Structure 1
Amino acid sequence: MEELKKLGELTKMDEKHELMGMVCGSVPSLEKMHSYLSKEVLNGEVPDEIKSQFNVAKNMALYSYFFYALAPEVHLKTYSVIEHALRIKTNPKRLMMLKALMKHALAQGWVSDIGFRHIKNPSVDNEWSKSMIDVIPSLRNSKAHGSKLLVGDCLHHISCCADYINQLFPQKTMKRLNQHCS
C-alpha cells in the first residue's frame, strides 16, 4: 500500500527502483533519466498547448524516480496528450472518441510504423500502428478507471508519444521532402 512519503524522503530514490533493480539488473539514475527525457522533443509545428502537456508528462516521468507509482500516471498522461493532439489535428465536426481519431489518423497517412523510432523493421502495412488503435484506448481506459498494475518503465511511453505527435505535426522541411518524394 502506498503511503505519504516522509518529508526527509521526498528527494530520495523510491526504494521500489532498488527492488526492481534486483530483478532486472539495473537501477535508474536521475541524471540518465533527465538526459533521456531532455532528448525527447516535439517538432516546432506542434501546438504550444500540446508541447506544454507533453512537458508535464516528461516532468512526471522524471519525478517517478522519487515516486515509483507515478509511472502508470505517466502512461495515462501520454495517452491523453496523444488524444488531445489528435483532436486538434483532426478538428472533427462531431465528437470522435480516441479509437476513431486514431483510425482516422492512420487512414489519412498521418501516422505510420516508419515514424516510430523503436520499430526496427517497420511494416509497410503499418501493423504496429494498426494494433495501437485497439491497444491505446484499452490501456487508457484501464488506467483511467483504476488499475492495480504498477509498471516502472514510463520513458518508452514518452518516446512513443513524441513519435506519434511529431508525425501528426511534421516539420515543414519534412513536409516538403515528403511532397517531393510523392
Structure 2
Amino acid sequence: MTTDDEPVKMIDPSDALRDGDNITHPDPRNTFFGLVDSAGQVRPQELSDHLEAIQPYVLESTVPESVRLHFETAKNLYAYAWFVYRFHAVAEQQALSSLEFALRSRLESRSDSPIARRSKKSAGLSGWLKEAQTLGLIANSRLRIGDQLARERARTRFEFDQIQKMSKLGVTTITVDPATVQPTEEDLRYDWISAFIDDLPKIRNEYAHGSTMLHPTVLRTFDIACDLINQLFSSSDAGVQLQLDDPEEQLGGV
C-alpha cells in the first residue's frame, strides 16, 4: 500500500508481460554472463549455449512416460528462461515436482512401502526421499554425479582455506593451481542423499509458498533430480537387493 506522496514503483520491462515485438528477445540478464572460448577469449552467452546446458539431462527409457513428460516440461521452462529470466525459478520448482512425482509413482506400486500404505499426499518430498533410501531405491553409491559433487566440495573447501590464508598474510591476491585440488576420502564418502533430504524440500517449499527467490543452482537441481529419478527406475528389481552405501559393507567388511 502506498500513500499519495509515494510514487508507484514501475515493474522493470524485463519482468513485465512481453508484447508481440519483444516476446522473442532474450532477457537482458542472460546476456550479462560471458563464456570463455577455446582461444581464451570471453564472449557473450548465446541461446545455443543456454540450450546446450539443459540437453544432458535425459531420463532413461525405464522411467515411465508420465514422469519423463513431467521432467521435459521442466527442461522446456529452463529453455524459455532465455526469454524470461524468472522462468529459472519455475523450471527449478518443476524439476523438484518431477522428482516427487517420480517418487510417488515408484513407491505407490510397492507393497513393502509403509509410507505408500499410510498417507500418500501428506508424505512430502522429504518423506518420500527417506522411504526410497530405506528401501534401497536410491543410494549414495549409485549417484552418477557423486564424484563431481565430491570434487566441488573439495574445491569449495580449498577456496575457503585460501581466503583465510590471504587474510592471515594480509594480501589481496594469491597464486594457486585449482588442478591440484583432490577430494579426500571424506569427500568421496559424503552422505549426499541425507543432504538432499534436508535441502531439496526447503527449496521446493520456498517456491511453492510464493517467493522472490532466484536460486543460483537451478542446473544443480536438475543434476540431482535427473540422477535420483533414473536411480528409482534403474531396474525392475530395484530395492529388492539393497544397495549399501558403504563399500566395505558390500564386501562383507573385509
Given the two structures, how large is their TM-score scaled by the length of structure 2?
Answer: 0.61
Q: Which runs of 5+ in 2 are unaligned?
A: 1-10, 35-41, 109-115, 151-182, 244-249
Shift of 1:11: 1.2
**Identity rate of aligned residues, in percent?**
25
Alpha carbons of 1:153 and 1:63: their partners in 2 closer, same or farther (altered >3 Å)? Answer: farther
The alignment yields a C-alpha RMSD, in angstroms, of: 2.7
- Give the direction of change, closer, same or farther, for the CA distance of 1:152–1:135 in structure 2 (3 Å limit): closer
Please state how far the C-alpha of 1:53 moved relative to its aligned partner: 0.6
Q: What is the CA-CA distance between 1:38 and the residue it aligns to?
A: 2.5
CA deviation map 1:142-181 (0-9, x unaligned) = 1000111124553332222111100111157x99xx99x8
User: Cα offset for 1:61?
Assistant: 0.5
- The 8 Å contact of residues 57 and 77 in structure 1, kept in 2 or not, is answered as yes
Larger relative contact order (CA 8 Å, sep ≥ 6): 1
Counterpart code for 1:53:
H
**Which residues of structure 1 form unaligned runs of 5+?**
none
The residue aligned with 2:99 is: 82
Q: How does 1:11-22 map to 2 (within 5 A)?
A: 11-19=24-32, 21=33
Q: Distance in 2 between matches of 1:106 and 1:28?
A: 39
- Cα distance, 1:128 vs. partner? 1.6
Number of aligned residue pairs: give it. 174
- Is 1:94 equivalent to 2:118 in the alignment? yes
| Larger helix percent | 1
Shift of the 49–160 alpha-carbon distance from structure 1 to 2, 3 Å rule, reads same
| 8 Å Cα contact 2:27/2:84 also seen in 1 | yes
Post-superposition CA distance 1:85-128 (Å, at most 9, x none): 0001111122222211111111222222341413236644x522
TM-score (norm 1): 0.82
Structure 2 residue 225 is the aligned partner of structure 1 residue 161: yes
Counterpart contact for 1:113–1:123, Cα < 8 Å = no
Greater radius of gyration (CA): 2
Q: Which amino acid aligns with 2:118?
A: R
